[in-house]
């Protein structure tokens, strides 16, 4: 029983010699983040679940199952060598890229709110554009960590693959996820020391593609125009943002209290997914919002410490990629709910309802903890020849 618990639950582990303080702290912070998110989801989803399914616990129970599965993946990642994970990453990336392509095929992809992002495996919805994110971090870190040593043919091949991932997500259409994936790869490349000319030209190209996408998709343009003045279209395209701002404003300094949000009672749309922060802010107020932001700052700071202590360049880039993804997506979601950014479909990691997001976020957090563990192990063992950058071995 003890072995079972230690394998499936990462917070039960007696091998203290293999854990640095950073790794342990990040592990506990991740679990705390997930548990708080589960409670907030219960509060945000109860009224709509009761109305739609006659069971207020509907979303909570399903999220609890996904959390359990996510913790298994989290624990597996933090107990698996990064070298082994990087070895299977290209195959996982290609498989998920194929799945993204399948979502675009008539009869295979499932369309929700005008976007075809899901395919169903039996009764389970599968969103490959969400699950591909941690593998983009891994493969991006692997490629950009040895960019100067790669042939131009290899460089263009992987840039083409990365471009295909972003482009196919854009075709779903899913501008927010495509932009996030593009920025994720861009920041990893920036951290690797790639020349600024190449980075600037890539950023310019991405901006142009984004403008073209907005011009071709009316709903994307309406999101931007309603963001500029939501109160002018408060009963139309600005409705979500207006209700979100009203929820946040209603929270005041201390909030209305857990479970006592009024806007979630059929005023605020999709309150258990994209706008879950508005429910959190209403129930916990300005103080709660500041505490959440401070938590994200602490998590990001510890993640950057892990990156700065990494013994290999590829591991440093993996750590940076995880922080960019988790913190970037969190801040974008909060920015949307507070009206600082145009409305997007990005969930708040470990808060918003969704199994694919839960699995992706916990795997990403697991990669960060794994980097911290491997750095600590390298410091303890410190055998000659282990700490040199040998990324060529990873690529084979």
Give the pLDDT confidence score for residue 281 in this predicted structure: 97
Token pair, residue 172, equals: 């779903």
Cα distances from 314 to residues 92, 126, 145, 240, in angstroms, run 18, 29, 5, 41
Whether the CB-CB separation of 139 and 89 falls below 8 Å is answered with yes
d(CA 212, CA 198): 21
109 neighbors 102 (Cβ within 8 angstroms): yes
Two tokens at 210? 């984004």
Other CB atoms within 10 Å distance of the CB of residue 121: 8
Q: How many CA atoms lie within 13 A of 380 on its CB side?
A: 11
Instruction: Give the three-state DSSP class for 326.
Output: helix
Q: Residue 18: its pLDDT value, please?
A: 64
| Pairing between β-strand 115-121 and β-strand 124-126 as defined by DSSP bridges | antiparallel
What pLDDT does residue 387 have? 37
Per-residue pLDDT of the chain (396 residues; tens, 9 = 90+): 444 445 445 445 545 556 889 999 999 999 999 999 999 999 999 999 999 999 999 999 999 999 999 999 999 999 999 999 999 999 999 999 999 999 888 777 776 666 678 888 878 888 999 999 999 999 999 999 999 899 999 999 999 999 999 999 998 888 899 999 999 999 999 999 998 998 999 899 888 988 888 878 777 777 787 777 788 777 777 888 999 999 999 999 999 999 999 999 888 888 999 999 999 999 999 999 999 999 999 999 999 999 999 989 999 999 999 999 999 999 999 999 999 988 888 999 999 999 999 999 999 999 999 999 998 766 554 444 433 444 444 454
| Domain locations along the chain | 27-79+217-378
Which residue has tokens 């989290």? Answer: 74
Kindly provide the residue ranges of all beta strands, DSSP E only, lying in 6-93, ordered along the sequence.
none
Q: Which pair of structure tokens corresponds to residue 73?
A: 């993946």
Per DSSP, the residues of 251-269 read HTTT-S-TT--STTTTTST
Contacts of 101 (CB under 8 A, 6+ apart): 168
**pLDDT, position 209:** 86
The pLDDT value given to residue 379: 59
The whole-angstrom separation of Cα 34 and Cα 322 is 16
Measuring CA to CA, how many Å separate 360 from each of 73, 143, 194, 328, 377? 9, 21, 27, 14, 26
Inter-residue contact 49 to 57 (CB < 8 Å): yes
Question: Where are any strands of DSSP class E within the chain?
Answer: 110-112, 115-121, 124-126
Q: Are 140 and 162 in contact (CB under 8 A)?
A: yes
């Amino acid at each position: 029983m003890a072995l079972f618990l230690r394998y499936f639950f990462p917070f039960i582990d007696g091998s203290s010699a293999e854990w640095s303080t950073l790794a342990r702290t990040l592990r506990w912070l991740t679990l705390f983040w997930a548990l708080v998110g589960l409670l907030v989801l219960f509060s945000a989803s109860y009224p709509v679940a009761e109305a739609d399914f006659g069971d207020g616990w509907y979303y909570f129970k399903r999220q609890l199952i996904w959390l359990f599965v996510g913790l298994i993946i989290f624990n597996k990642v933090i107990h698996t060598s990064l070298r082994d994970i990087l070895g299977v990453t290209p195959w996982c990336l290609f498989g998920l890229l194929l799945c993204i392509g399948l979502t675009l095929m008539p009869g295979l992809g499932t369309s929700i709110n005008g976007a075809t992002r899901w395919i169903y495996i039996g009764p389970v919805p599968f969103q490959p554009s969400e699950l591909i994110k941690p593998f983009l971090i891994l493969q991006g870190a692997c490629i950009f960590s040895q960019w100067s040593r790669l042939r131009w043919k290899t460089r263009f091949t992987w840039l083409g693959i990365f471009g295909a991932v972003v482009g196919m997500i854009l075709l779903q259409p899913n501008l927010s996820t495509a932009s996030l994936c593009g920025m994720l790869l861009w920041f990893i490349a920036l951290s690797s020391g790639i020349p600024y000319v190449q980075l600037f030209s890539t950023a310019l190209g991405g901006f142009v593609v984004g403008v073209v996408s907005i011009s071709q998709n009316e709903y994307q343009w309406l999101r931007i125009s309603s963001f500029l003045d939501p109160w002018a279209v408060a009963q139309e395209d600005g409705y979500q943002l207006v209700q979100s701002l009203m929820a946040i404003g209603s929270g005041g300094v201390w909030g209305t209290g857990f479970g006592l949000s009024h806007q979630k009672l059929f005023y605020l749309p999709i309150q258990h997914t994209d706008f879950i922060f508005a429910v959190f802010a209403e129930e916990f107020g300005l103080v709660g919002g500041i505490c959440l932001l401070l938590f994200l700052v602490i998590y990001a700071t510890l993640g950057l410490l892990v990156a700065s202590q990494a013994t290999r360049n590829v591991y440093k880039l993996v750590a940076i990629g995880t922080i960019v993804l988790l913190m970037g997506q969190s801040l974008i979601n909060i920015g949307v709910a507070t009206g600082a950014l145009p409305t997007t479909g990005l969930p708040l990691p470990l808060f918003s309802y969704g199994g694919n997001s839960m699995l992706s976020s916990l795997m990403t957090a697991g990669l960060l903890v794994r980097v911290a563990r491997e750095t600590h192990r390298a410091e303890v063992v410190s055998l000659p020849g282990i700490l040199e950058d040998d990324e060529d071995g990873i690529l084979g």
